[in-house]
Structures are given as structure tokens and as C-alpha cells.
Chains A and B, each alone.
Chain A
Amino acid sequence: MTYNADERGYYGEFGGAFIPEMLYPNTEELRQNYIRIMEEPSFRKEFDQLLKDYVGRPTPLYFAERLSKKYNTKIYLKREDLCHTGAHKVNNTIGQILMAKKLGKNRIIAETGAGQHGVATATVCALMGIECVVYMGEIDIARQAPNVARMKMLGAEVRPALSGSRTLKDATNEAIRDWINNPVDTYYIIGSVVGPHPYPDMVARFQSIISEEIKWQLKEKEGRENPDYVVACVGGGSNAAGAYYHFLDNPNVGIVAVEAAGKGIDSGESAATSVLGKVGIIHGSKTLLMQTQDGQITEPYSISAGLDYPGVGPMHAHLFKSGRGEFISITDDEAMKAGLMISKLEGIIPAIESSHAFAILEHKVFNPEDIVVINLSGRGDKDLNTYINYFKL
């Protein structure tokens, strides 16, 4: 069995492109060209150069000694928090802005929830001097004022999504509507491994640099390329897809996916899609999503805005359904405690999304000789207010 997308963008039964005809020419243009463009030497060269000189790659693979001691196993942190703009998101936006240029587009749109992907998109648009419009739910704009200010400083226009629940899923709807209304000159930079084919596969390929580096870095440090486990948090699933990518077909590497349980699986305020979701269609992809019995998409909840999405990418739906991935849900409280623990033990304040990944150390027991790589997807600067309010700092 393979865990990558087939030619039609399916991961097992999940994926595909469930889009209205208005979007067919745009996605078809992308589908026909993305692999060819990504494999062009000139594209590769520019992408690699920017990742190195602008993003700051390779990011370190850091042996977390005190954390390892506490949990009696060998834990490495993949330091995506050290990327420019503070999270893995920029790996993808660098790739996609180059793709947009190759396709001759001169206007960029994006959706954002917490603002991380919006900032990463505004950043690369500033870098390339391309017009940028970011859709953000009206409620999120109020909750994430610093990232709104960052996007504005970077020259982007932030447009409020006023429809539906006025959060990430609605911002995504608005971006898609913009694309329908501007089919020729505009390119849509999606922020995760979600949306219609070819987006999930393309974003996973751009993020796969994470596991590519883990392989040679681990070889240097441990004399072997493959860890026993790779752990990552899953919102839409892009940092996880990147961290798993080169290990998916090796059954000796355990894949651990961490979802946000919010206030608890049964609380009605959760974002644990693998537990609470059913197969359906969201944003052009057949995948697991949280919905009413009637097929209306419901609003998720997590203290971490980046995990607050009612679906998961089709790759992850397939990893779950096939049993290849082990899915664990972590509550707000568990994640916040883990965030504080990492800060004190390792001197690293993680993004609350990443804190979810660390919290599994309280749930899952590893062997002392196991090598566990945890993807530290982002840094906690953006979450300081949430940490302050939670811990009354």
C-alpha cells in the first residue's frame, strides 16, 4: 500500500477534487503543471536557495536531553520554530509563490485562521513584490490582532470573512469565492494539506523538506536514518505531512498524529476530527470532517487557533482509516501544561499547536532505546497572550 496521492489525488478513498465547474480551469492548470514545474532545475535551485538563505534551513534536529531523561527515551526536536516567521508554514508559501510566478500569476490570495499562514503568505508576497489579499474570519481578526498588524506591515490587505461562523473555514470559503471571481490572474496559496487535488499533494511535497532533513541529520547523530517514531500535531496536517513524508512507506517508523481535543472529546467543544468526524466533502476534498447528521459542517473548538479546523487533509484521513497512523487527542489543559514543561525543561516556548504534540509523552510510553522525533512546528511568541491568561503569568 502507498500512502501518497495517486494521479487523481486520492489517498485510498480520500481526496479528489470536488469543486464547482468555475474552479475547474484553475485547478486543472495547476494539476497539469505542478509536478513538472517542481522538478525543473531552475525551480529547485531557487526554492532550495530561498529555504537556505531566507527561511534559515536546514532547521536543527536537536537532542532534548532533559526531556529525554524525564520520559526515559531518546527525544529529538525538529526545530521548525526557528524558521523565518516562526513556523513551518513558510516552507509551503515559498514553494507556492514560486509556483504562482511560473504560472504567470500576479495576484495572490490566501486564507488564515490564527494568522500564521497569512503572515507567511504576506511575507513571500512582499519578498516577490506581488499583490496579496488574505481572508480571515471576522472573529479571528479580533482574536489575533498582532498577526493582523504583521500582515498589514508586510503590505497585505486583510479582508474579513463575514459569512457563516466567521472563522477559518469561512475564510477558506471566501478565498475560494475570490478565486471563482478572479480565475485568470489570481493564484490561491492554500495553507495546509487540504483543498482539492493537487493542493494536498503539492503542499505535502513542499513540506517534505522536514523529513528529508530529519533523515540525514539523524544519520549524522545516530548512524541511522529512520527514527522509531515521528510525532506531529495535526490541524489540516501540513507540518505532520512534511515530518512523515519520507517515512510513510517504512513500516518500522511509527507515525503518531496528535489532534486537539479542546475541552474534551465529549464536551461539544473539540477539534478531534479522527474521533468526531465522518467521511464527507469539505473545501473540495473528500475526507473526514466534523458535521451534523445532515451534512452541515460544524464549528470546531481548540485553544490553539491553528488546530481549529473541522477537517483533516485526505492523507491523514487515509493514515487513520488504514491504521498506518496512531491518532491521539490532547485537551487544552494537557497541551498548555506540556507547553510550560518544555519551556522550563528545554528553554523553548512552543506554539500551542506544537505543545499538543509534546503532551503525548504523558500518554504513550516509549522504550528507553527508542528514537522519537517530535516536530516542533512553531514558536510560542504568537501565543503569549493565551499562555499569560491561562497561567495568570
Chain B
Amino acid sequence: MNRINKKLVEGKKLLSIYFTAGYPKLGDTVKIIEDLEKNGVDLIEIGLPFSDPLADGPTIQESSTIALENGMHTELLFKQLKDIRKSVSIPLIIMGYFNPVFQYGVEAFCKRCQEIGIDGLILPDLPLDVYQNEYEHIFKKYGLINVFLITPQTSDDRIEQIDSASYGFIYMVSSASTTGAKEGFGEEQKNYFERIASLKLANPQIVGFGISNAETFNQATQSSKGAIIGSAFIKHLAKNGVDSISGFIKNIR
């Protein structure tokens, strides 16, 4: 059983953290992952930086630009993660854009992920139909869970399609926005969270975008399985560096 599926059946709300590999310093990747696990984080999304991150707001864009300037690239990330399973046991997901994966070769990329012990991928610009027609069999061959996004604008029909193509969790984008654009939740989110809960989907949902502290974490996880923090964590790293990760996590829960 994939580590993600195991984690999802634990009887608690899950805290997932996103960070951009190669940021703030090129060599920070392993330390960040180890510290996050030590501090009780349930799941980690390792961002593979891209020059043109369409779905991201300024904070993650900036971290990606710096990571690339620092010299991060696909092969280097794999090298840094080579022995990660000797020290870390929580699920690890690589999140990135499709072009770098496509250039590496989708099959070669998935194979390396399996060798390292990566459990899943989030590639926001790999659409459902292309995934199903061309790549699903490769992801499955290497034991990788592909995570799809839904948004408040996604129709019920489409959500059901996505649910039936999923075999891990659904990434529920909290509002119509790029990452880091809004903080906090209003009436629209409440209705959206309730609508999704009422659909009784086969896959649990983890909420992302707009979560930055204990309050938003609790709101987001009221009717979902967990929540993802990205931009707020990147901002924390920018200000405090990698030595104060425990402080950040303790403020969430």
C-alpha cells in the first residue's frame, strides 16, 4: 500500500507542507524535509521549481526563481533525495509543472521517483484527459499516485470524473485564485466546502490555497481530511531561514 493511502486512513486531520526545492539555499532540501517530519507534519510536497509557474502567486514564483538561480534542476533534486528514505517515513509528493517532467521523460521521471521512494505527483498543468490517454499506465506502473485539483468553479460532473480517476486524495483549491493570493475564508468557501462534503466522494479531500495559521487550518479541515500550507511556509523560510521550522509548525497545531 502506498504511504499516502496509509496516511489517509489514520484517524486525524492531516497537515501537509509545500516548499520549493533549492530555496532558500540549494542544499536545504533534505534538512527541511527531516525537520518537517520531526515536527509532526503528515505529508510533504516538494516543489520542483519551474521558470513559468502559471498557477502560482508572487511568493512561490519568487522562491522558484531563486531556486533556479541557486542551480536547482531535476537531476540534482533526485540526487539530493537519493537517501531520503533512510531518515524519513512520511509520504512525499513532488509538485511541479509538466514541462520539466516531459523533458526528463515521463517514464524515466516516474522510475526515479519510485527508486527514491516518492509516493505521488501533483502536476497542475497535466490535464485529466491527457493523463488518462497517455500517462496513467506509467504512473501506476511505478506506484505513483497522481493528485488532481478541483476549484469552486469545478462542476459536480467534472468533480465526479476526477474522483473516479483518483486513487489517493483530491486537492481542493479553496478559492478561484493562484497560490498565496487570499488569506482566510468567507461565505463562498463555507458553501463550497459543504457542497463538496455533500458529494460523498470516494477520495478524501485535502484543502490548499489560503491556509496560513491555526485558524485557517481548523476552518479548512472541518469537513475535509487535511490542509496544505505553501506560501505562508515559504514566507516563513524567507524571514527566519531553515532553523525555526518547529516554531512555524507549533503555531499551526
Contact = CB atoms under 8 A, between A and B. Distances in A.
Interface of A: 8, 16-22, 24-25, 162-164, 169-170, 173, 176-177, 180-184, 278-284, 291, 293-298
B50 interface: yes
Nearest to A169: B52
B100 A296 contact: yes
A370 to B, nearest CB: 41
B125 A281 contact: yes
Interface size band for B: 35 or more
B148 interface: yes
Nearest to B58: A163
A296 B68 contact: yes
Given A291-B99, A295-B104, A20 B55 contact: yes
Contacts, number: 117
Q: Most chain-B CB neighbours within 10 Å: which of A22, A182, A297?
A: A22
Interface stretch (B37-45, B84-92, B172-180, B239-247): B172-180
B126 interface: yes
Given A163-B61, A170-B52, A183-B176, 9 more contacts: A16-B127, A20-B124, A21-B148, A21-B150, A21-B151, A22-B151, A163-B65, A176-B54, A181-B177
A25 B58 contact: no
Task: Rank and list the top 5 A-B pairs by shortest CB-CB distance, nearest first.
Answer: A295-B103, A295-B100, A20-B124, A296-B51, A21-B149
Contacts of B176: 22, 180-184
A21 B74 contact: no
Interface stretch (B14-22, B23-31, B153-161): B153-161
Q: Most chain-A CB neighbours within 10 Å: which of B65, B68, B74, B176?
A: B176
B55 A25 contact: no
A18 B155 contact: no
Given A21-B148, A22-B153, A22-B173, A294 B100 contact: yes
B181 interface: yes
Contacts of B103: 278, 280, 291, 293-295
B57 interface: yes
Contacts of B75: 294
Nearest to B154: A21
Contact of A25 (B54, B126, B127, B153): B153
B125 to A, nearest CB: 5
Interface in B121-159: 124-127, 129-130, 148-151, 153-155, 158
